[in-house]
Chain A
């Protein structure tokens, strides 16, 4: 029996849209069949890669900014309770109201309750990963509240009844002609002669949302940063839909993960240099709004912030994985990822796709949740994400760590060893001794026999079948490298036999 010390048992995992409902290989297999999707993604990710590299190489102090950004985030995690309390004080002192939400359900209920208090049944929304994560729109719909996404890409996704596939450009999987078709089909009163020119499409979105903005009484947003010392919140955007939502309505409800804090106003100068260049590849995004509680006579007078845990404390509890919480959602890692480029974001299941999603989702839900244990394998560990990450999250390291957590978690559960266990045990037996390996190598000619006259093995048995699904294995050589070496380096003197001595088994 365990003693109850009044401490919450941790980790408490997150809920909501954080799960893959099918394994990554399965989902990826399906998505890879969509040639249009791959073409769209290839085009978009390559455009953004080039832009990012150009603006990043302009800054002589990019690496110094990354070092500062990384250290600031590390210090935020170490000091999180203290900083949250400080932020609560400063934000509240300026007339803002703070709410705490343990998980997705609680956050949804708080937001719906706040909207109900205003008597409104419609809200405008700025793109926010946190509200995507908790499934806020769906929840509000059940409650009879209509939430209108106002970010162009979110609007495209919402009109098409689709799911976002990228954290910055949720409709990255659609090209301009597909967007035009969606607008023509779903947008009331749209010009039937609409072309696929991006400028015309943006114009159509402006006309469509204008009335909503000008009459909305309640807005829901996320936040990119929160400054503990001043109580300030920041939203970084492009289109002006953010400014509309943050400025015109009477009530503003912001939902933000607890990890988004920065200690001081000064830290913002680092992140406002790192984020725009890493995300849209611009020197600066068109608009950034900052607000500190309520300002009399300017902007919403009823200002709320929902601070969300939903598995973040669980991620924080993993010492080797906690730096995943440093993420500023720039999307650079997915834009450079060879796996993401081919499968797209939907294959990852969770709100957070790409390399960061492959570590963040299982950290927030626990590795055993649904199919999330397949995510840490959705990578070739090439390291491009680590190089691109503005806050230097070592994603490959955390992927490897989570793979081992996955293997450990399965080991505890199964009585009967899997094929993988048997194989790994056999390998560790064979590879731990030169003599044993030598013995096994004597079997190589057998492999040649199996390969047949065309010297190819096209089908391996058991779990190894996956390897030969898309490639052949060449027939093994007739002798091993070690045998060959021994023959080639046989010393003429009969008394000294260095080649043979190397083959001695090492005694423990």
Chain B
């Protein structure tokens, strides 16, 4: 018997009392009742609690804010699908600091390691938990680009902010390569105290664009 058949058979035999699968009680909250302002306020509060830097700006101010945050970066990478309008605060045509990345033309890990910052969009955010979800869409790019550079600048549109996790999960396709981000990389491994800054980006800047 193959291992597969044998394991399945062992499990069937273990269940010979035919336990009944219960109905799943889904009485938990499926949606929050917060309006846009309250959602923004809650998300900002949570992100700051995680030691992320947050700014809430009008859409028109996003390019200037990005340029400001990138002032000290020697180099930065953007996914090819990033909204070009967001980069108008930087010399759009010839910012020599800028690198582009896509699945078709990926940068190597070593190249990414030499890049200071990354700018991406996001798929959806959860205010209650301070979580931003990336789903690898063209404006977010391959997972590696938001991981290797030490500074992640992430733009969240107010229309993408949900109140609680079930709302967000119901908006995304689970089969995409997903990363849920709640603050900069951190650890609780020494005496169970959270300290920021281990292997992922140590600096997370969130720009909430309304």
User: A residues bordering B, Cβ < 8 Å?
Assistant: 7-8, 10-12, 40, 43-44, 47-48, 51, 60-61, 64-65, 67-68, 71-72, 74-75, 77-81, 84-85, 94, 99-102, 106, 150-153, 156, 169, 171-172, 175-176, 179, 198-199, 201-203, 205-206, 209-210, 213-215, 227, 230-232, 238-241, 243-244, 247-248, 258, 265-270, 272-273, 276, 280, 282-292, 295-299, 307, 309, 313-314, 316-317, 319, 322
- Check B14–A78 contact: CB distance below 8 A: no
Interface residue from A61, A210, A287, A314 paired with B28 (Cβ < 8 Å):
A61
Residue of B nearest to A150 (CB): B199
Interface residue from A61, A72, A287 paired with B200 (Cβ < 8 Å):
A287
Rounded to whole angstroms, the CA-CA distance of A347 and B191 in the bound complex is 20
Q: Does B160 contact A (CB under 8 A)?
A: no
Residue of A nearest to B166 (CB): A269
Q: Does B23 contact A (CB under 8 A)?
A: yes
Residue of B nearest to A12 (CB): B10
- Check A241–B199 contact: CB distance below 8 A: yes
Other A-B contacts than A8-B6, A198-B191, A239-B199, 9 sampled, CB-CB below 8 A, are A75-B24, A79-B21, A171-B190, A239-B198, A283-B130, A286-B50, A287-B181, A290-B180, A297-B102
Least CB distance, B49 to chain A, in whole angstroms: 8
- Check A298–B197 contact: CB distance below 8 A: no
Q: Which residues of B contact A99 (CB under 8 A)?
A: 3
**Residues 99-140 of B at the A interface (beta carbon under 8 Å):** 102-104, 106, 109-110, 113, 126, 128-131, 136
Q: Which residues of A contact B27 (CB under 8 A)?
A: 61, 64, 67-68
- Check B199–A240 contact: CB distance below 8 A: yes
Residue of A nearest to B4 (CB): A100
- Check A100–B19 contact: CB distance below 8 A: no
- Check B10–A8 contact: CB distance below 8 A: yes
Rounded to whole angstroms, the CA-CA distance of A284 and B50 in the bound complex is 10
Interface residues of chain A: helix, strand, loop or mixed (majority)? helix
Please judge, given known A-B contacts A152-B198, A298-B136, whether A214 and B130 are in contact too, CB under 8 Å: no
- Check B185–A198 contact: CB distance below 8 A: no
- Check B174–A172 contact: CB distance below 8 A: no
Rounded to whole angstroms, the CA-CA distance of A201 and B189 in the bound complex is 10
Interface size class of B (residues with CB under 8 A): 35 or more
25 interchain pairs, CB-CB under 8 A: A10-B10, A68-B25, A71-B25, A72-B24, A75-B22, A78-B20, A99-B3, A101-B3, A153-B189, A198-B193, A202-B198, A214-B110, A240-B199, A241-B199, A243-B147, A282-B194, A286-B181, A287-B182, A288-B178, A289-B143, A289-B180, A295-B176, A299-B144, A316-B15, A317-B14
Please judge, given known A-B contacts A11-B14, A156-B189, A295-B176, whether A100 and B182 are in contact too, CB under 8 Å: no
- Check A202–B143 contact: CB distance below 8 A: no
- Check B187–A202 contact: CB distance below 8 A: yes
Interface residue from B109, B177, B178, B189 paired with A152 (Cβ < 8 Å):
B189
Task: Identify which of B10, B179, B194 gathers the most chain A CB atoms within 10 Å of its CB.
Answer: B10
Rounded to whole angstroms, the CA-CA distance of A298 and B143 in the bound complex is 7
Least CB distance, B21 to chain A, in whole angstroms: 4
- Check B142–A297 contact: CB distance below 8 A: yes
Please judge, given known A-B contacts A230-B175, A231-B175, A317-B13, whether A240 and B200 are in contact too, CB under 8 Å: yes
- Check A238–B174 contact: CB distance below 8 A: no
Q: Does B12 contact A (CB under 8 A)?
A: yes
Rounded to whole angstroms, the CA-CA distance of A176 and B188 in the bound complex is 12
Q: Does B169 contact A (CB under 8 A)?
A: yes
Please judge, given known A-B contacts A44-B192, A307-B7, whether A270 and B181 are in contact too, CB under 8 Å: no
Rounded to whole angstroms, the CA-CA distance of A72 and B28 in the bound complex is 13
- Check B46–A283 contact: CB distance below 8 A: yes
Q: Which residues of A contact B144 (CB under 8 A)?
A: 247-248, 298-299
Please judge, given known A-B contacts A152-B198, A238-B185, A284-B130, whether A47 and B3 are in contact too, CB under 8 Å: no
- Check B7–A169 contact: CB distance below 8 A: no
Please judge, given known A-B contacts A203-B197, A238-B188, A282-B194, whether A80 and B11 are in contact too, CB under 8 Å: yes
Q: Does B186 contact A (CB under 8 A)?
A: yes
Rounded to whole angstroms, the CA-CA distance of A30 and B9 in the bound complex is 42
- Check B8–A81 contact: CB distance below 8 A: yes
Q: Which residues of B contact A51 (CB under 8 A)?
A: 192
